[in-house]
Chains A and B, each alone.
Chain A
Amino acid sequence: MLLIDCPWCGPRDEVEFSCGGEAHIVRPPEPANLSDAEWGDYVFMRQNRKGVHYERWCHGHGCGRWFNVARDTVSHQVLAVYAMGEAPPEV
């Protein structure tokens, strides 16, 4: 069970949130020029890190806002919470 520090509502239980998967995946500017392999990489391929993982979360049962979380996939500790659009912090 994670305790996630919502930037608006403060620390709340994981069940109030939904996870939106890995953060900082940028849509290619010209998808038409990509090969199938490159497009497949963008759509499907995700990191599966052991350690610090950057991911998107939505506080759906609370304020309804999206934000980014840096989480350690080994300890499940939430290391940092930061706004959408911000660069990932060093943790």
Chain B
Amino acid sequence: MAERRIRHSPLAHLHLAARVVVDPGDAGARMSERPPRAQLAVRGDSGDKAFVAAFKAGLGFSPPLAANTVVTHDGLAVFWLGPSEWLLVGEVPGEQLAAALADRHHALVDVSDSRIAIGLSGPRARDVLAKLCPLDLAAPALAPGRCAGTILARGHMLLHVLAEDSYDIHVHRSFADYAWRMLEDAALEYGVAVIDGGG
């Protein structure tokens, strides 16, 4: 019998779809579950010019080489995770990248189900996050278009600053329930609206 695979959201038990509102009103924080995206972990030496050139050829644009930056291009976000480590999220050109990097020392691993993203936005989004994260969220290091591997409450997160007061919070799926509940608890005093996470 053929194995049947069903993608199961780690937040399914919270029944967030039933709470989605169209108009968030005056809620200080808007939270959403982002739809599942393909994810690819890339390892290689950013000091090796031939590797960087091959990486660029595989992507079709330059990968982020500066610390804690994100390059977004045609539905694909490339996160700098370390000087030899990147995370691709979205329209991942897997085969194209594998072909381009074939002759270089590298690693490509499909990690699509490892993390989910929670959207947090609204006028008090920064205040919500500041309760749970040790970073200075107003610092230039966290301007829109930047990312940071850091801490959310007692767990790990990859923080993506989309705009001022709009964040995507990528957490490992086993931490998804914890992250959502901690964020919602922190946001309670400002008012929380669950909104649609986009297509």
Complex Cα gap A63–B135 (Å): 14
Query: Among the listed stretches A12-20, A22-30, A38-46, A48-56, which one makes contact with chain B, having 4 or more residues with CB under 8 Å of it?
Result: A12-20
Asked if residues A63 and B81 are in contact (CB atoms below 8 Å), the reply is yes
Known: A15-B134, A16-B134, A61-B156. A8 touches B83 (CB 8 A): yes
Complex Cα gap A65–B151 (Å): 16
- A31 interface residue per 8 A CB criterion: no
Give B84 Cβ to nearest chain A Cβ, in Å: 9
- B77 interface residue per 8 A CB criterion: no
Complex Cα gap A9–B135 (Å): 11
How many residues belonging to B are interface residues under a CB distance threshold of 8 Å? 14
CB-defined interface of B55-74 with A at 8 Å, one 1/0 digit per residue?
Answer: 00000000000011000000
Closest A residue to B136 by beta carbon equals A11
Asked if residues A10 and B82 are in contact (CB atoms below 8 Å), the reply is no
Asked if residues B151 and A64 are in contact (CB atoms below 8 Å), the reply is no
Q: What residues on B are CB-neighbors of A65 within 8 Å? A: 82-83
Chain B binding surface SS class:
strand
List B residues 81-99 near A (Cβ within 8 Å). Answer: 81-83, 85
Known: A15-B134, A63-B83, A65-B83. A9 touches B151 (CB 8 A): no
Asked if residues B134 and A13 are in contact (CB atoms below 8 Å), the reply is yes
- B148 interface residue per 8 A CB criterion: yes
Q: What residues on A are CB-neighbors of B149 within 8 Å? A: 9, 61-64
Q: What residues on B are CB-neighbors of A13 within 8 Å? A: 134-135, 151
- B162 interface residue per 8 A CB criterion: no
- B150 interface residue per 8 A CB criterion: yes
Complex Cα gap A64–B144 (Å): 23
Asked if residues B81 and A16 are in contact (CB atoms below 8 Å), the reply is no
Cβ contacts A to B, 27 pairs, < 8 Å: A8-B67, A8-B82, A8-B83, A9-B148, A9-B149, A10-B67, A10-B141, A12-B134, A12-B135, A12-B150, A13-B134, A13-B151, A15-B151, A16-B134, A16-B150, A16-B151, A61-B149, A61-B151, A62-B149, A63-B83, A63-B85, A63-B149, A64-B81, A64-B82, A64-B85, A64-B149, A65-B82
Q: A13-B135, A16-B151, A64-B85 are in contact. List 8 more A-B contacts (CB 8 A).
A: A8-B83, A9-B67, A9-B148, A12-B134, A13-B151, A62-B148, A62-B149, A65-B82
Q: List residues of A whose CB falls within 8 A of some B CB.
A: 8-10, 12-13, 15-16, 61-65
